[in-house]
Chains A and B, each alone.
Chain A
Amino acid sequence: MDVDPRQYENLAINDNDIQNIVLSYLIHNCYKESVESFIACTGMKQPADYLEDMEKRKRIFHFALDGNALKAIELTEQLAQDILEKNKDLRFDLLSLHFVELVRSRKCTEALEFAQTQFSPFGKEQKYMEKLQDFMALLAYNEPEKSPVFHLLSLEYRQQVADSLNRAILEHSNLPSYTAMERLIQQATVVRQCLSQEAGKDGPPPFSLKDFLKS
């Protein structure tokens, strides 16, 4: 069987696998109605219990994304006491979101007080100290958006923290914290890279997801 990656059309792929990949994406990102619709359209077996916490997870995610970290923390603790206890980094990041919101609304004194009370339990650990320094730097500028640490105010940063929170909640409920889709793309990239290295100039060209999707 010729398995040259340039001639891959002849490999048999299981429909079930494909549908599970799509479903895992939809569940991970809390697309509740889409999940229900997809299951109905394809006649798949409904996975147990995933719907229960999906609404809650979705709300928590959106609160974090909006910068309303305190609400996100409150709801997360309601959902499961120990998620944040076990995950100090995540707790730190969520608190930092609130700090950023205070800075953004120019409530600098409040921000300072918040920092002093909330971050002290993190002690003198190197990694937290370093992060903290970056955040404190925001206070030093009249226009923090123009400071060198402006990325801490960005949507991307909030998205990153919200994603981590989502993954932590999924992991806690024994669901996969990374979607099958992400794994698939990562795997394909790594293996293609290995192939390019090993096979040298006879092998397939380096993998570009973009080109592949256009092909």
Chain B
Amino acid sequence: MTDTNGNSSSSNNHHHHNQQDLSLYFLELSRHGSSQGPCDMDEDEEAPTELNTINSSGGFLVVSQDKLSIKYTSVDLHGHDVGVIQANKPAPRKRLVYYFEIYVKDAGTKGHVAIGFTSKGFKMRRQPGWEPNSYGYHGDDGLLYRGPGKSETFGPTFTSGDTVGGGINYATQEFFFTKNAQVVGTVSKDLKGPLFPTLAVHSQNEEVHVNFGQKPFAFDLKEFEAQERMKQQLKIEEITLPANVSYGIVRSYLLHYGYEDTLNSFDMASRSTVPPVYIPQENGVDGQEITYALSHRKTLRQLIRNGEIDTAFNKLREWYPQIVEDNTSATCFLLHCQKFIELVRVGALEEAVKYGRIELATFFRLPSFEALVQDCVALLAYEQPQESSVGYLLQDSQREVVADTVNAMILSTNPNLKDSKNCLHSYLERLLRQLTACCLEKRSLSGDQGEAFQLQSALSGGKNC
């Protein structure tokens, strides 16, 4: 994707190629405007809303008009005439807990009511728990059934007037059941794949209503979720941190991005603490590479943040000509775009057009650059560009991208540089990325079940969710 430049010696080419890689990274970044998190699709996951009348054991029960209650219509004669029904959708998985409740309106002659979870191909004439791949909590004996021949004492029996709930705790990979708002037991969930909330009736006159969340639950689900999160949180809080590791990470962040003034305040303050803060070598944070060119980087960051692009160009030509000598490099491109944006910002539209014709036109044909050029030029079309779809270009974040690019490019000129990737991010960002990636990976390992990683609540210790 990089355009070729007829640069002389091959070693120059290699170095140049590395530089192109770095600045292209920032170019990609600037095109995204706002970054979309990897977990934004979770809210779209569907949840059960009513009962599934299509595959229920039709002959043995009748479903109400609103598809939220059932009544046993037959006379139970044997074990294959159960009136069982599933929800219309499987339980959603991308959350901490899923839960639903039934209300036993009438336990009929024998109270054979059951609640549980079953998989897709469940035999719709049997109680949940009597067949493989199903779990059922039965009201007549209070047992938990989880497959042919597998049952155990679990909780109390339940009958007319009782509200019984069934839930899946994705954090602990367990089913749990409640009776009249109290948890009565949990059992390990050994089923994978979509699971349907299921209810069943099996004697004359039995009638059950179901609540998929359209009404408030008897059970305090929010409190339960909060407690589960707290348990996870406690596990996290038990981790001890090596001494002063935070200090090292913060310091390296300030160094990396060239916040020289803050760094000076920081160092001064740290020196006067008792004991003076020192980073033991084993923390591994290497300060040497990133002190390189600190005050130049700070100056350039300030210039770009203030929109003084011409001065920034001059300084770069003076201090690091190799970064800006190729006028078709991504770095120059980003700077030129920013100059264009600054002209638009102050309303100097004619000058912007002139500038664009001279400096940006060459980039129109180049695949990696043309999207940004188009967005920049589009700014001219609006009276209120900041409110348009390309308004992101006028925000501070765009200046930050350019500043970060220049910062990385200067770092890359360090002759002692070990790995050019180190120019892109400070340790802090790498740590944050690791965390996000690991959480996503962990979730995908458990079949995509469980909550998405929410950075805000993770960092605030779960208090802000």
Contact = CB atoms under 8 A, between A and B. Distances in A.
Interface string A165-184: 00000000000101111111
A36 B432 CA distance: 24
Interface stretch (B32-40, B312-320, B380-388): B32-40
A190 B431 contact: no
Looking at chain A's contact residues, the main secondary structure is helix
B242 interface: yes
Given A5-B441, A41-B261, A185 B246 contact: yes
Contacts of A209: 242, 245, 283-284
- Give 7 closest A-B pairs by Cβ, nearest first: A12-B35, A180-B459, A8-B437, A33-B265, A213-B284, A37-B262, A214-B284
Interface in B409-426: 421, 424
Interface residues of B, number: 70
18 contacts: A8-B430, A8-B433, A9-B421, A13-B429, A14-B35, A17-B459, A20-B459, A34-B265, A43-B305, A176-B460, A183-B460, A187-B458, A188-B434, A190-B235, A210-B283, A212-B430, A212-B434, A213-B249
B346 interface: no
In this complex, the interface size class of chain A, counting residues with CB under 8 Å from chain B, is 35 or more
Interface stretch (A119-127, A129-137, A191-199): A191-199
A7 B265 CA distance: 35
B445 A195 contact: yes
Interface in B244-296: 245-246, 248-250, 253-254, 259, 261-262, 264-266, 268-270, 273-275, 282-286
Interface of A: 1, 3-5, 7-9, 11-15, 17-18, 20-22, 24-26, 31-34, 36-38, 40-43, 62, 65-66, 155, 176, 178-192, 194-195, 198-199, 204, 209-214
Contacts of A32: 269
A22 to B, nearest CB: 6
Contacts of B283: 209-210, 213
Given A5-B441, A8-B433, A210-B242, 5 more contacts: A17-B432, A41-B302, A176-B463, A183-B459, A212-B431
B1 interface: no
Nearest to A188: B435
